[in-house]
């Protein structure tokens, strides 16, 4: 039975600070003081917090366009795990270009890294995407190389340590990149 009592509350929302662009993105760029950023993979040092003056409503966002290797950005709430079982959802506002398809990444409490089979693909403008976690097939993720592995069945999502995203690719400038405005 589905009712409001089965639906989890908001665990965190991160909408990046409106401060000047920087490479790499750092803890200073996070609005939520209870959230810690993690950068992984060979491209971690080239993940940029970006913004443009035109159009006037351009957000402050994470950008992968200059990443020299595969990359992952994660967020975690200090000293807390989140239960992503049941009716849990992850929602973000993003925009991808080229062949980029943005996947969810999670790190379980036992240190296991997983990447979602579902992704958010190319869009000419910003859009909001909601993922129903119970609908996702998960794959092993080598977080050092940021390369997906074998499918994982019967994943216990009751203790998730970090939540993030990757497109599993290097940056290719503005024509081949991923952008994330906010995530909750």
d(CA 179, CA 174) in angstroms, rounded, equals: 10
DSSP state at residue 61: E
DSSP state at residue 42: T
> For residue 182, what is the enclosing H or E element?
strand 178-183
Query: Could you check whether the bond before residue 10 is cis, i.e. omega within 30 degrees of 0?
Result: no
Can you give the pLDDT at residue 58? 85
pLDDT (tens digit per residue) in 110-129? 999 999 999 999 999 999 99
pTM of this prediction?
A: 0.93
Query: In which residue ranges of the chain is pLDDT below 70?
Result: 1-5
Going 127 to 151 to 63 to 98, the CA torsion angle's sign is negative
Q: Please state, rounded to an integer, the average pLDDT across all residues of the chain.
A: 93
d(CA 53, CA 39) in angstroms, rounded, equals: 26
């Amino acid at each position: 039975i589905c009712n409001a009592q089965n639906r989890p509350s908001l665990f965190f929302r991160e909408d990046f600070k409106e401060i000047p662009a920087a490479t790499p993105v750092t803890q200073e760029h996070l609005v939520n003081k209870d959230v810690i950023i993690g950068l992984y993979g060979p491209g971690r040092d080239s993940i940029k917090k970006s913004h443009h003056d035109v159009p006037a409503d351009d957000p402050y966002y994470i950008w992968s366009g200059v990443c020299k290797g595969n990359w992952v950005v994660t967020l975690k709430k200090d000293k807390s795990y989140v239960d992503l079982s049941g009716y849990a959802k992850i929602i973000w506002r993003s925009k991808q270009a080229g062949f980029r398809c943005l996947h969810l990444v999670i790190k379980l409490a036992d240190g296991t890294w997983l990447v979602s089979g579902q992704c958010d693909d190319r869009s000419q403008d910003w859009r909001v995407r909601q993922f129903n976690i119970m609908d996702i097939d998960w794959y092993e993720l080598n977080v050092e190389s940021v390369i997906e592995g074998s499918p994982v069945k019967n994943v216990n999502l009751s203790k998730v340590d970090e939540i993030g995203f990757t497109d599993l690719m290097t940056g290719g400038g503005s024509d081949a990149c991923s952008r994330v405005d906010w995530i909750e």
